Amino acid sequence: MPREKAAAIASLRALLKPRSIAVIGASRRQGTIGNKLFHNILHQEFNGVVYPVNPNAEVVASVKAYPSVLDIPGEVDLAVVIVPAEIAQQVVEQCGRKGVRGIVVISAGFAESGAEGIDRQERLLEIARSYGMRLVGPNCMGIINTNPQVNMNATFSSIFPPAGNIALGTQSGALGLAILEYARSLNIGLSTFVSLGNRADVSSNDLLQYWEEDSATDVILLYLESFGNPRKFARIARSITPTKPIVAVKSGRTTAGSRAAASHTGAMATAEVASEALFTQAGIIRVDTLEELFDVANLLSHQPIPSGRRVAILTNGGGPGILTADACVTRGLELPALSDKTLSELKDFLPRRASLNNPIDMTAEATAEEYSRALKLLAQDDRIDIVIVIFIPPILTQPEAIAGSIRELAPQFRQRGKTLVASFMGWRGASTELGSAGGHVPCFIFPEDTAVVLAKACEYSEWLKRPKGIIPEIGGVDKKKAEQLVKSALERSAARPLWLDTTSVIGLLSSYGIRVVQSKSAATAREAEKAAEELGFPVAVKLLSSTITHKTEVGGVILDLSSQREVEHAFSQIREHLVSIGREDEMQGVTVQEMISGGIEVIVGVTQDPSLGPLILFGLGGIYTELFKDITFRIHPLTDVDAREMVRSVKAYQLLEGWRGAKPCDTEALEELLLRVSAMVEDLPQIAELDLNPVKVLERNNGYVVVDARVMLS
Amino acid sequence: MPREKAAAIASLRALLKPRSIAVIGASRRQGTIGNKLFHNILHQEFNGVVYPVNPNAEVVASVKAYPSVLDIPGEVDLAVVIVPAEIAQQVVEQCGRKGVRGIVVISAGFAESGAEGIDRQERLLEIARSYGMRLVGPNCMGIINTNPQVNMNATFSSIFPPAGNIALGTQSGALGLAILEYARSLNIGLSTFVSLGNRADVSSNDLLQYWEEDSATDVILLYLESFGNPRKFARIARSITPTKPIVAVKSGRTTAGSRAAASHTGAMATAEVASEALFTQAGIIRVDTLEELFDVANLLSHQPIPSGRRVAILTNGGGPGILTADACVTRGLELPALSDKTLSELKDFLPRRASLNNPIDMTAEATAEEYSRALKLLAQDDRIDIVIVIFIPPILTQPEAIAGSIRELAPQFRQRGKTLVASFMGWRGASTELGSAGGHVPCFIFPEDTAVVLAKACEYSEWLKRPKGIIPEIGGVDKKKAEQLVKSALERSAARPLWLDTTSVIGLLSSYGIRVVQSKSAATAREAEKAAEELGFPVAVKLLSSTITHKTEVGGVILDLSSQREVEHAFSQIREHLVSIGREDEMQGVTVQEMISGGIEVIVGVTQDPSLGPLILFGLGGIYTELFKDITFRIHPLTDVDAREMVRSVKAYQLLEGWRGAKPCDTEALEELLLRVSAMVEDLPQIAELDLNPVKVLERNNGYVVVDARVMLS
């Protein structure tokens, strides 16, 4: 481990595993947050010593208080500060002098509350740093460590979650309490809880590094509203997810809106798309709601990650079985037939009325004994990766007995790497019963909910199995020429951003070995006719304009012209249309292109995310691009695996594979195109936006042709 | 009301509002289901008299039993039968002789358990009918009426839900108990509950008619596994939904699978698609899960149906506010800016840190007073139809006070027809607090869940506002000619199903005023060249075959041929491809067609659902049809409103409207085409399947042209 990282982790350990705490308040009154927090630490029987500090009160929660942290006789590892923002600096300064190692600032009134607060926060941070102290908050709700050797509830919530292997970091303090309450009600065990507040110092990146090494933590949950440093976040997360799953809910999915749309790619690249790409590439499990956050955590914290998508459903009621099957199939899980052995043995003891198709409906009369026998068979059936057990308590059966059977057999499933979940509809005791020792089978109120969670876990499992990929060396690149081309374009014009002219675009793409359709510019109809003659018919004629982005929308694209007369006519038609909308001044002429017949139209694009850098787009091209948004984004640079996966992750891949009898397309060449674009973006940071749309992908071994391209420099 | 319906309702009333009940068991043992059921009726203090009947036990649940129903001294309205299936007939016969009016048969061992059981059930039904008795079940879990004047728990579950205005019918007995437990835990009030079991007599259709007239019921919930008589169900439901919402969860969404794919339309018309069309056209609110079933019911039972999609979110925590906003936007709800008045008055009392963009984040310090003032403003803001209040209990505020404010203001929202929902994250008392007298504000654990429910309610609201439409008279139809054409085709060939030859297809469509592309058949290359000459270039050449459905897949469609030589070449190319796959025998020649340039490709189709009759399809046409499945189905016959809505409900409508600068298409002509197809299907029941694909929709006022068509007769 690099020394810097080791030091960071050690400093967080002092915060999260202190042996001595000072709780520093300033209020005269009892019953304030400070007193409450001190009380919570006492009440939870913190495994160490806690000192109340208050210059204005002699006693805090029945304990004699120290006037200042400097008056405390022993060492202090951690100080929790709950004083008015105005005096926080002075208190933190005293902590520094005392030799405190970590500080949690609960107080509000900092960066969240305007310019004055921002200043205050910066000064606070300076003081902390000058003494080498780490700082959580300000404006947070505190930290928890459930490790019995620590047993610390340094929050103002009296809720202490059960000990477990899930770590939770939250950016919303307000949400923290609700989260703790929910975790307790579902009997979900946490290792540590950190309310990050304003993240003046300690960030989610720091926590990730700490939890990566924390032996008490197996699953990491994050509630995020923004990324502090997204590139660093992506890098750290990517190094952790292969060993510990990270589950995150990030808000702001739809509200971010799209950017000003200079290109197709730009128009479709919302901030949301960038986060999505970041999560995908880092192997982070993204969930949409807080409920899913906990449901997924609950599954991953004790069950094996699914080894495949094949589900068996075991139920004593047909209806819920079918609803669950529906939910599974909708989310891409499979319900295969069971093995012959399983089927024949199930027949031996289940009544004739039972249905042995998957879902296995044992009917309402099913006993604990039958559940047990059926589960034993499923644990051994190699056709199955996941089992969902549904139990609807009928009146004369005791759910405890069924829960007992499931708990007993849970280890057999775990041994064979199979994932086991349950839903005991209507019986609220089930979570506790199934969650207890040896069982650790997550239990859901509604069986349909299992499908969402299992599908997320399967995605993660597939990510784990995927080769990590390399950024391959790309041959046939004339980097010098490309740099020169960009440089001279920027020198020729002062406009920023600057759209490259057609000739330069072709030159640029060609110097990266990207195949572009043959074309010629023409300022007049006569020139266009001549160009067509030289290229050979049929040709396409397209508006040449440095200001009009969407040519189709102004009638600027006319295809499939077979004669000089048609070319001449097309030229006038384009001009007349521009005249009719009063934009004829923007026409510099036309581009005459060879027509590429056949091929599937795709789009490849680049845009810049303000914090993540270049994003690369792939998807269905042509006029359907923005209608169906059958697209995917990745963050630059692309590995070979990224490129392969991008091509395969859109619906249009079915077209490329040879849709309805058509011959398959050259997807290999397409992957190479993506990698070439990534290489180009690497070399030429001046490229702000790029649209290759459409790219026509031809039959296998015939490559592709870029039919239209636009490049914007900044 | 028709006399028949009135009689049916009266007979159900005897079942659901009896004044006297006999519980008929036959077990010697105590503690059986029969005893339990009798005990439940007593325990709930049934408002009438209940008699235990048992030939084998003197005392049932401490009450002296009658040996048979005939021994009961007074009248008996309802008999609940829990005897072995073998003696059920005899018991029901006795009930008939006694003059019992309704019977609930709990016993299993009937149609659900094989051939013998089916016979048994039929005989049971005959006996009941011969005495004019209505019968619920067999194989059910009983019935409940919470009306204080009845107070009947005739089920074997001891759970009695709170009284309320939601009626619930369930086809899955097993699920019944879980449902009751869940309703109670959420404090959701029911009016009546009926477990339908095998539906030998009383069906969901009967219940719908009863609940339509039942003054205690405002919202109807159904859990369905199948439709008894779907056409009747659709008719009845359609007459109820304008006054009382019906919310249904139907299982089997994905498992039904698609049919053998003779046509595009057939391939895409799953059983699921048929139910979906039925629900859409009848205005039934369809939900996917049991959780949603109750969530939607909870909203509709006490809140006004949303008058629009404009939502305001009021919160004391930013994170949950944004997550909820995300969920709303994803589901098509809107978050408009608030009115200037609201904004300026909010500014008056909220702290500077508060965010007044929608969501309105009042920050963690928000008091009950502030909630109250903000809600008052929102109740008066005309820009808002729906308000979601989120409250995350911070440590020093009492959630009760906030709940009190919301409850107090609920009537102001109701008065103005605004919908109000809440989420008190982590505080489980909220449901009860907000649900109580005067409030009736549904409360969700997670605020994101409100979005799903509100979106469903908005869809229903929009359905209510929609004109009901008429089935218009269609002019320009030569019905005689079409009938003759179909008749003679069926006479000419014995094959069933029978694909109509191209000439007949064109004749058929033309006689319904449907515009088909000009074309000619040709058996040889020479004939094809001649046909092309006559039609005028460019032309398309397509395989002519009565057995090959998907011509594109066998290379059987070649477009845009400009010369005789190209036509000749196309002919050989098609033949050679068939030779290469060994299907040359299936080629009868080619069809030569005029080329239609421009236009948007759509598909219009017909297929038959085994129980719902003809289904009509509309969607994006051409090669993308099955890839994107951007399609919609309706059940025949179509009204003008159905046709209008079909065209508008697919994404491809944006293409038709003039996508990216293109001229808008003739959607009026397209709607007429759908109505003509519906008229044709009405007149000619022999049409089993029909694909018009592609139909090219031209610019406004230029109509459409059917480019390719296939018709299958049965």
For B392, the 3-state DSSP assignment is coil
- DSSP codes, A288-343: SSHHHHHHHHHHHHHSPPPSSSBEEEEES-HHHHHHHHHHHHHTT-B-PPPPHHHH
Q: Are A247 and A291 in contact (CB under 8 A)?
A: no
Q: Is the torsion defined by CA of B544, B550, B556, B557 positive or negative? A: positive
d(CA B507, CA B489): 12
Every domain range in chain A assigned CATH 3.40.50.720: 3-158+178-202
What phi-psi label fits residue A329: left (phi over 0), alpha (psi between -120 and 50 degrees) or beta?
Answer: alpha
Per-residue model confidence (pLDDT) at position A264: 67
Query: CB contact, 8 Å: A463 with chain B?
Result: no
Indicate the average pLDDT of chain B: 89
Q: Beta A163-170 vs A219-224: how paired, if at all?
A: parallel
Residue among A508, A606, A591 at smallest CA distance from A557: A591
- φ, ψ dihedrals at B228, nearest 5°: -65, -65
Nearest CA in chain A to B577: A661
d(CA B365, CA B363): 5
Every domain range in chain A assigned CATH 3.30.1490.20: 518-595
**Residues B508-554 pLDDT 10s:** 999 999 999 988 889 999 999 999 999 888 888 999 887 887 787 78
Q: Do B449 and A253 touch (CB under 8 A)?
A: no
- Spell out the residues 6+ positions from residue A304 whose beta carbon is closer than 8 angstroms to its own: A413, A414, A417, A418, A419
Per-residue model confidence (pLDDT) at position A261: 47
Q: Do B255 and A33 touch (CB under 8 A)?
A: no
Q: Do B174 and A364 touch (CB under 8 A)?
A: yes
Of residues B156, B254, B445, nearest to A330 (C-beta): B254
Domain spanning A600-713: CATH superfamily: ATP-grasp fold, B domain (3.30.470.20)
Of residues B178, B318, B630, nearest to A172 (C-beta): B318
Q: Does domain A3-158+178-202 have CATH number 3.40.50.720?
A: yes
Q: Are B612 and B274 in contact (CB under 8 A)?
A: yes
Chain A CB contacts of B225 under 8 Å are: 318-319, 322
d(CA B478, CA B517): 19
- A and B: number of Cβ contacts within 8 A: 216
Q: Do A446 and B289 touch (CB under 8 A)?
A: yes
Chain B CB contacts of A627 under 8 Å are: 651-652, 654-655, 659
pLDDT higher at A622 or B130: B130
d(CA A403, CA B647): 52
Query: B261 falls in which pLDDT band (50, 70, 90)?
Result: very low
**Residues B194-214 pLDDT 10s:** 999 999 999 999 999 999 999
What phi-psi label fits residue B323: left (phi over 0), alpha (psi between -120 and 50 degrees) or beta?
Answer: alpha
Per-residue model confidence (pLDDT) at position B438: 62
pLDDT higher at A24 or A357: A24
pTM listed for this prediction = 0.85
Minimal CA separation from A327 to chain B, in Å:
8
Beta bridge partners of A66: A53
Of residues A253, A319, A660, nearest to B175 (C-beta): A319
Query: CB contact, 8 Å: B597 with chain A?
Result: no
Q: Worst-scoring range by mean pLDDT, A204-218, A584-598, B42-56? A: A584-598
Residue among A650, A658, A660 at smallest CA distance from A620: A650
- Spell out the residues 6+ positions from residue B73 whose beta carbon is closer than 8 angstroms to its own: none
**Residues A314-358 pLDDT 10s:** 998 888 888 899 899 989 999 999 999 999 999 999 988 788 889
Nearest CA in chain B to A448: B289
Every domain range in chain A assigned CATH 3.30.470.20: 600-713
Indicate the average pLDDT of chain A: 89
d(CA B88, CA B97): 14
Chain B CB contacts of A179 under 8 Å are: 426
- Spell out the residues 6+ positions from residue A470 whose beta carbon is closer than 8 angstroms to its own: A639, A640
d(CA A625, CA A332): 24
Per-residue model confidence (pLDDT) at position A127: 97
Mutate to test the interface with A, among B290, B357, B550, B665 (most CBs of A within 10 A): B290
Half-sphere exposure of B132 (CA within 13 A, CB side): 11
Residue among A386, A456, A388, A452 at smallest CA distance from A424: A388
What fold characterizes domain B518-595?
A: Dna Ligase; domain 1 (3.30.1490)
**Residues A590-646 pLDDT 10s:** 999 988 878 899 999 999 888 788 999 999 987 778 788 899 999 999 999 999 999
Chain B, 659-698: which have a CB under 8 Å from a chain A CB?
A: 659-662
Q: What is the mean pLDDT of residues B303-315?
A: 96
Minimal CA separation from A646 to chain B, in Å:
18
The H or E element spanning position B677 is helix B667-683
Q: Worst-scoring range by mean pLDDT, A260-269, A585-594, B26-35, B705-714? A: A260-269
Chain B, 390-419: which have a CB under 8 Å from a chain A CB?
A: 392-396
Query: A92 falls in which pLDDT band (50, 70, 90)?
Result: very high
Whether the predicted pLDDT of A477 surpasses 50: yes
Q: Do A448 and B288 touch (CB under 8 A)?
A: yes
Whether the predicted pLDDT of B256 surpasses 50: no
Q: Are A390 and A447 in contact (CB under 8 A)?
A: yes
Chain A CB contacts of B449 under 8 Å are: 289, 291
Class of domain B3-254+272-297: alpha beta
For A580, the 3-state DSSP assignment is helix
Chain B, 201-240: which have a CB under 8 Å from a chain A CB?
A: 223, 225
AA letter at B540: A
For B202-256, the three-class secondary structure string (H helix, E strand, C coil) is CCHHHHHHHHHHCCCCCEEEEEECCCCCHHHHHHHHHHHCCCCCEEEEECCCCCC
Mutate to test the interface with A, among B326, B355, B625 (most CBs of A within 10 A): B326
- Helix and strand totals (H; E) in chain A: 24, 30
Q: Do A225 and B319 touch (CB under 8 A)?
A: yes
CATH hierarchy code of domain A303-465: 3.40.50.261
d(CA A274, CA A258): 11
**Residues B555-570 pLDDT 10s:** 888 887 878 888 998 9
Task: Tell me, rounded to whole angstroms, the distance of Cα A642 from its chain centroid.
Answer: 16
Per-residue model confidence (pLDDT) at position B397: 63
Per-residue model confidence (pLDDT) at position A345: 96
Per-residue model confidence (pLDDT) at position B257: 38
Q: Do B426 and A660 touch (CB under 8 A)?
A: no
Nearest CA in chain B to A249: B323
Chain A CB contacts of B175 under 8 Å are: 317, 319-320, 392, 425
Of residues A255, A327, A395, nearest to B325 (C-beta): A255
What phi-psi label fits residue A30: left (phi over 0), alpha (psi between -120 and 50 degrees) or beta?
Answer: beta
Q: Are A304 and A414 in contact (CB under 8 A)?
A: yes
Q: Do A174 and B319 touch (CB under 8 A)?
A: yes
Residue written as token pair 């392969």: A644
Mutate to test the interface with B, among A186, A196, A254 (most CBs of B within 10 A): A254
Q: What is the mean pLDDT of residues A220-240?
A: 87
Of residues B172, B628, B655, nearest to A317 (C-beta): B172
AA letter at B23: V
Query: CB contact, 8 Å: A113 with chain B?
Result: yes
Q: Do B392 and A178 touch (CB under 8 A)?
A: yes
The H or E element spanning position B619 is strand B613-620
Q: Do A317 and B174 touch (CB under 8 A)?
A: yes
